Amino acid sequence: MAQAKPELVPDVSQRDIEIAYSFTGAELLLFGAILYPGGRAPAAGEKPADVVVVVKGPTESVLVREKSKVAGIWVNADQMRYRSAPSFYAIASSRPIGELVDERTRAIYELGLDSLQLSPASAAAPEVQARFDRGLVDLKRRNRLFYEAPRAVEITDGVLYRARLTIPARVPVGRFTAETFLIRDGRVLAAAVRPIEIRKSGFEQFVATSAEKQSILYGLVAVGVSFLFGWGAGALWRRF
């Protein structure tokens, strides 16, 4: 009989994150247990397994423009559109990913920023695509929407694990996924996924819903509010 494999029982501290006007970010605690066959704990001297946690946001279409300096002025020189790129990507691991799996496994499971499948909309020379890929990743990293946290996963007694990942204030809304991978000897032994919902709340939710479902009325109200504010500012200016 094939040897039974361990299983993962993951969870997250928040399944629903609401974004209001005062939202400054959130910290997610991702934790869980490794269930070994027969309920046993890893034997003394047995090579321990590693844990990798990946949080991904919904995919989106992205246009990346490359700037060039012409006559002392920065102008758009070239561009590339990506059909589907993750809007948010964070990875935490018990050890650096390069020490856990080879390049092929990283590409299959998209483990690490250099292994993301970014899906460009049009064909380009490999060196050009690589340049734009690096540019997209760099832009996301500067906005804190892409990041890696090696050694951020803590494993206790070879059974319990936990990691903390930061959700920035500028995070997009939508359905996120928290994927957990159990790795040993360069192989993924188990994987599990938990969903996370990030949505607007309060006045922000009202504005977003109105703009999406009642676009004409929303536009008229926005114009009316702008007119009233402009008229009110002018009246105050004339009085004082």
What type of residue sits at position 16? Answer: D
Q: Does residue 75 have a pLDDT over 50?
A: yes
Q: Which of 152-156, 173-177, 206-210, 223-227 has the lowest mean pLDDT?
A: 206-210
**Mean pLDDT, the chain, integer:** 83
Which domains does the chain possess? 7-58+85-201 (2.60.40.1930), 202-240 (no CATH)
- Centre a 10 Å sphere on the Cβ of residue 114 and count the other Cβ atoms it contains: 14
Q: Shortest CA distance to 119 belongs to which of 136, 102, 141?
A: 136
State residue 15's pLDDT score: 79
pLDDT in tens, 101-111: 999 999 999 99
Which are the contacts of 98, defined by CB distance < 8 A and separation ≥ 6? 112
How many angstroms separate the CA atoms of 56 and 85, rounded?
10
State residue 29's pLDDT score: 93
How many angstroms separate the CA atoms of 175 and 199, rounded?
9
What is the arithmetic mean of pLDDT over 113-127? 87
How many angstroms separate the CA atoms of 74 and 11, rounded?
47
DSSP 181-202: EEEETTEEEEEEEEEEEEEE-T
State residue 1's pLDDT score: 39
What is the arithmetic mean of pLDDT over 114-143? 90
Q: Does residue 203 have a pLDDT over 90?
A: no
Helices (H) and strands (E) in the chain, counts: 4, 12
Return the structure tokens found at 23.
Answer: 């939202």
Cα separations in angstroms, 148 against 112, 126, 128, 153, 180: 7, 25, 24, 12, 15
State residue 152's pLDDT score: 95
pLDDT in tens, 137-169: 999 999 999 999 999 999 998 899 999 999 888
